[in-house]
Amino acid sequence: MGYFLMGLPGETEQSLRETIDYAWPLDLDFVKYNLAIPLPGTQLHEMWKDRIQAASWSQYNFHSPARALYDHPNLDWDTLEAYLRLGYRRFYARPRYMLGQLLRMIRQRRVMISAKTALEVWKSVRRRTSNQRLQDAELSPLIAEPALWKVKPPYG
């Protein structure tokens, strides 16, 4: 698994491209890209305190768009989010990665199960993209309020 943090101080479009180019040839099973979030009490929060929009801890959760928390000093949010999506597309659409996943499914005799799961994920991503802002608004209270974490998840 590779974890890459984008949008740190001094980040440019060139450095975003370099991060994506660095991850692309690595022999990883999974990759995770995240955008930097200046959490209260961190040096990053102190550096960007004049750019912070969030007024309380309840606004800081990792399921809401970072653009609602602060203004990035170097790059606009459309650019940051576009590079985040590009990183995922470039990594997971590699022929070598897709062939490796297919061979793994065949070896594990999981082709049909994996195909069904992939279809469900694809449908979910399509629904999520079209309803993202509505769902984020609905989930924010559950994520921000620890007392509500005891709610049974819809999948289990």
Rounded average pLDDT over 124-142: 51
Identify the weakest region by mean pLDDT among 4-18, 46-60, 133-147.
133-147
- Tokens 């594990």 belong to 108
**pLDDT for 102 beyond 90:** no
Determine the pLDDT at residue 152.
Answer: 42
In this prediction, residue 116 has a pLDDT band, given cuts at 50, 70 and 90, of confident
Considering only CA atoms, which of 27, 34, 28, 39 is closest in space to residue 4?
Answer: 34
pTM for this model (two decimals): 0.66
**pLDDT for 144 beyond 70:** no
**pLDDT for 145 beyond 50:** no
**pLDDT for 72 beyond 80:** yes
In this prediction, residue 153 has a pLDDT band, given cuts at 50, 70 and 90, of very low
**Cβ-count burial 119-144 (b if 16+ within 10 Å, e if not):** eeeeeeeeeeeeeeeeebeeebeebb
Determine the pLDDT at residue 146.
Answer: 40
CA 152-155-156 angle, 5° bins = 60
**pLDDT for 131 beyond 70:** no
Which pLDDT tens digit goes with each residue over 12-71? 999 999 999 999 888 888 899 999 988 888 999 899 989 988 877 777 776 677 888 889
